[in-house]
Amino acid sequence: MPEQMSNVEFAHKIHEQSHHHGARADRNSRWVELAEAIVLAVVAVVTAWSGYQATKWDALSNRNYSLASRTTVLAQEKATLAGQDRLYDIVTFNGWVAAENAGNKKLATLYEHRFRPEYAVAFLTWQKLDPLKNRSAPPGPVFMAEYTNASAQESRKLVEEANSYFEQGVNTRETGDHYVKVSVFLATVLLLTALGQRFEMFGPRIVVLAIAFTVLIISIFWIVTFPRA
């Protein structure tokens, strides 16, 4: 009888221990579920923010590319005008030379009055060199350092602006790509969290959740350090 009572007591103790371990497992499971819920909530917020920033940086990139294209077109227009001005200066100068050689001072003076103001400065400097006697003199005013062309200068300035816009477009596109990369990492966190929930064993579930949490921390660090639009 005492032995029977002892067995009953032993069975009762085993049941109590089993119930105690089951309760502790339930508590641990609830903590894990809470951690998974927190991870999923954080991933949802961070993913939304990352997508928002990627969209804004992509818009800025497209804007810079558009400005680069538009400025390039303006630069080409100014370069065309500069070429036309240079051609006009050369043709007018050739007419002046022909009038001078023919001794037609009136016609030569007429050509001089038709010089563009920018060209006239270089022409006067070229005349002072006495090119008919000075063989080292440039063959014409367009080869003088004093010869300037406002359209050509503006074209070079626009080209520099276009290059600057293009570089900004490349940089902003790269920044947007960084945020897209973070979104991919966050998707991995979602996958790992969902995978961990499939495990019935407590240990593997903790390991998968720890990996997901580590990837989430890395993603958050990147987003904090990336520039914001």
pLDDT of residue 12: 41
pLDDT of residue 8: 36
Those residues with Cβ within 8 angstroms of residue 143's Cβ, 6 or more apart along the chain or in another chain = none
Query: In which residue are the tokens 């989430």 written?
Result: 216
Residue 91 in any domain: the answer is yes
Residue 14 in any domain: the answer is no
pLDDT of residue 199: 73
Q: Report which DSSP code applies to 135.
A: T
CB atoms within 10 A of CB 221: 11
pLDDT of residue 204: 82
Cα dihedral 166, 171, 173, 178 in deg (nearest 10): 170
Residue 124 in any domain: the answer is yes
pLDDT of residue 131: 82
pLDDT of residue 1: 42
> Angle, nearest 10°, between helix axes 2-101 and 202-225?
30
pLDDT of residue 134: 85
Residue 9 in any domain: the answer is no
Residue 54 in any domain: the answer is yes
Residue 175 in any domain: the answer is yes
The 10s digit of each residue's pLDDT in 114-159 is 999 989 999 999 989 988 788 888 989 999 989 999 999 999 999 9
Where the chain has pLDDT below 50, the residues are 1-24
Residue 12 in any domain: the answer is no
Domain with 145 in it: 32-225
pLDDT of residue 27: 67
**Contact call for residues 72 and 159 (beta carbons, < 8 A):** yes
Residue 21 in any domain: the answer is no
Q: What is the DSSP code string of 1-35?
A: -HHHHHHHHHHHHHHHHHHHHHHHHHHHHHHHHHH
- Total tally of structural domains belonging to the chain: 1
203 in helix, strand or coil?
helix
pLDDT of residue 28: 67
**Contact call for residues 179 and 53 (beta carbons, < 8 A):** yes
> Which amino acid is it at 192?
L
